[in-house]
């Protein structure tokens, strides 16, 4: 028994460096897979960051929009809103490519590794955090800013495609919709291969959700073209605006993400139940039986 214990500990040690790449704080109390500061931390942080970003821009607008934002040909506009436009496009592009790049690079190193149930559950919680962040970004792009867009454009002259309400909406949060939906897919593809691994194909759920974000951005171009050409009156409920709604409906694929990951969660619960019938096979980190046997055979 003592030898087996040492062998198991060694097996644990061998695996520990790789496991530490994932949920490196998972061992700490309160940071477990389903603890608020553990698996759920991504949800809290992700949702909060984007809400705060939207609020920060909104506060900026409160002090500047009516002063500098109504005449795009003025110097004041250039120093405020045009500058904001350039900085957010740059920051969003750099951030998006950086994050996607990180997900792909890191994901490739770990997609084929087996993980413990704890770890897989933690990843599903992180995944739900990313879906939650997607939901918040979709709210900011489809409700928070459009309310302002109606208020602004029915009041101020629409002089260019860069208005104080368009800049955070069309040119920051709409592209962030693409950032988060594609990023969430990359996370699912590499970190949750049992659900979204590439060998299954491309999930329809993500196809619809990502399509929603991409077509919304494409619709921005059509919207500005139309407004520059023949839609000169500021009425909101016109057929010309309806593609925004139709493309938005595609985001219903988000529900399938919750369902698919929940189904896997039930699958993990079943595996836990099945494994629990043979307690000796289960190590401290739930190391797989084959690995323990291999280590024992080697020693």
Partner 1 sequence: MAVDAKTLELRELLKKKYRYIDRKWDLIFWVTAAFVVGAAADITKQLFAGDWDFWTDWKDRQWWPIITPFAIIIIGSALQYIQWLAWRFPTGMTYTAVAFWLCTLVGRWVQWGAFVYYPMNFVWPATMVAAAIFADWVLLKTKGSFILTSIIGSGLFTLAWWISNYIPLAGLLQPAVWMDRVVTLADIQGIEYVRSQTPEYLRIIEHGSLRTFLGETQYVAFAFGTTVTVVGYWVGQAIGRGLAIWPIGRFLKKW
Partner 2 sequence: MRRRLLLALVAAVVVTVVPATAASAHGEKSQEGFLRMRTVGWTDVTFSGDSVQQGQTITVTGKVRIMDAWPSSLAKGTPNTCFMSMISPGPTILLKERTINGVSMPTRIDCAKGQTYDFSMTFAGRRVGRWHVHPAFAVKGAGTLIGPGAWINVTKNAAGFTNQATLLNGKTVNLENYQLSFIWIWLTLTFVIGMVWMIYWTVPKRTIPHLAVTSQIPLNTDGAAYGLVTKKDHRYSTIMMLATVVLLGAGWIYQVSSFPVKIPQQIIQFRPPPIERPAPLVTIAAGKSKAIYDADAKTVLLQIDASNTGKEAAQLTQFAVADLTWFNQAVPTSKPTGPQAVDTAYPMTVQQDTIAPGGSQQITITMPSDIWIKQERLLPIGESQLTVTGLLRFQTPSGAKSDVEVDEPLTPTAFKF
Q: What is the token pair recorded at 165? A: 């309400």
DSSP-assigned states of every residue in 17-71: HHHHHSSTTTTSTT-STTSTTTTTHHHHHHHHHHHHHHHHHHHHHHHHHHHHSS-
Measured from the CB atom, the residue of 18 and 228 that comes closer to partner 2 is 228
3-state secondary structure of 264: helix
Whole-number minimum distance, CB 128 to partner 1, in Å?
A: 6
Q: Are 84 and 167 in contact (CB under 8 A)?
A: yes
Measured from the CB atom, the residue of 82 and 288 that comes closer to partner 2 is 82
Whole-number minimum distance, CB 253 to partner 1, in Å?
A: 6
283 is a site residue for partner 1 (CB under 8 A): no
Which 82-111 residues touch partner 1, going by CB under 8 A? none
Q: Which does 208 bind (CB under 5 to 8 A by kind): partner 1, partner 2, none?
A: partner 1
Dist. CA 2–CA 70, nearest whole Å: 78
Q: Are 165 and 149 in contact (CB under 8 A)?
A: yes
Quick note: the x/- pattern for partner 1 over 182-201, rule CB under 8 A, is ------------------xx
Whole-number minimum distance, CB 169 to partner 2, in Å?
A: 14
Q: What is the token pair recorded at 126? A: 């992180």
Q: Which does 283 bind (CB under 5 to 8 A by kind): partner 1, partner 2, none?
A: none
Whole-number minimum distance, CB 281 to partner 1, in Å?
A: 16
Q: Are 32 and 118 in contact (CB under 8 A)?
A: yes
Which 111-140 residues touch partner 1, going by CB under 8 A? 117, 121, 128, 131-132, 134-136, 138-139
Q: Which does 56 bind (CB under 5 to 8 A by kind): partner 1, partner 2, none?
A: partner 2
> Binding residues for partner 2, per CB under 8 A?
49, 53, 56-57, 60, 63-64, 66-77, 79-80, 83-84, 87-88, 90-92, 94-96, 98-99, 155-160, 172, 232-233, 259, 262-263, 265-266
Q: What is the token pair recorded at 228? A: 């520059």
Based on its alpha-carbon atoms, the radius of gyration of the chain, rounded to whole angstroms, reads: 24
Give Cα 147 distance to the centre of its chain. Answer: 24
Dist. CA 149–CA 144, nearest whole Å: 9
Q: Which does 23 bind (CB under 5 to 8 A by kind): partner 2, partner 1, none?
A: none
């Amino acid at each position: 028994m003592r030898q087996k214990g040492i062998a198991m500990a060694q097996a644990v040690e061998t695996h520990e460096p790789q496991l530490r790449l994932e949920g490196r704080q998972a061992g700490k109390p309160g940071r477990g897979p389903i603890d608020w500061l553990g698996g759920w931390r991504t949800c809290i942080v992700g949702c909060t960051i984007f809400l705060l970003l939207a609020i920060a821009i909104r506060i900026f607008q409160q002090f500047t929009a009516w002063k500098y934002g109504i005449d795009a040909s003025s110097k004041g506009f250039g120093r405020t809103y045009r500058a904001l436009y350039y900085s957010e496009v740059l920051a969003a592009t750099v951030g998006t490519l950086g994050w996607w790049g990180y997900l792909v690079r890191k994901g490739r190193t770990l997609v084929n590794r087996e993980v413990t149930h704890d770890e897989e559950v933690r990843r599903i919680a992180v995944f739900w955090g990313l879906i939650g962040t997607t939901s918040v970004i979709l709210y900011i792009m489809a409700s928070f800013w459009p309310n302002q867009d109606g208020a602004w454009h029915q009041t101020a002259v629409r002089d260019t495609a860069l208005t104080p309400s368009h800049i955070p909406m069309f040119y920051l949060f709409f592209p962030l919709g693409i950032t988060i939906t594609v990023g969430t897919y990359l996370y699912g593809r590499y970190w949750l291969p049992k659900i979204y691994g590439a060998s299954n194909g491309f999930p329809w759920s993500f196809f619809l959700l990502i399509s929603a974000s991409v077509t919304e951005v494409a619709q921005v171009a059509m919207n500005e073209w139309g407004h520059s050409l023949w839609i000169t009156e500021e009425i909101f409920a016109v057929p010309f605006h309806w593609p925004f709604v139709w493309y938005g409906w595609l985001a219903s694929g988000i529900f399938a993400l919750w369902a698919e990951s929940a189904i896997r969660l039930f699958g993990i619960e079943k595996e836990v139940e099945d494994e629990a019938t043979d307690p000796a096979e289960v190590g401290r980190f739930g190391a797989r039986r084959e690995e323990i046997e291999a280590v024992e055979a080697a020693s």
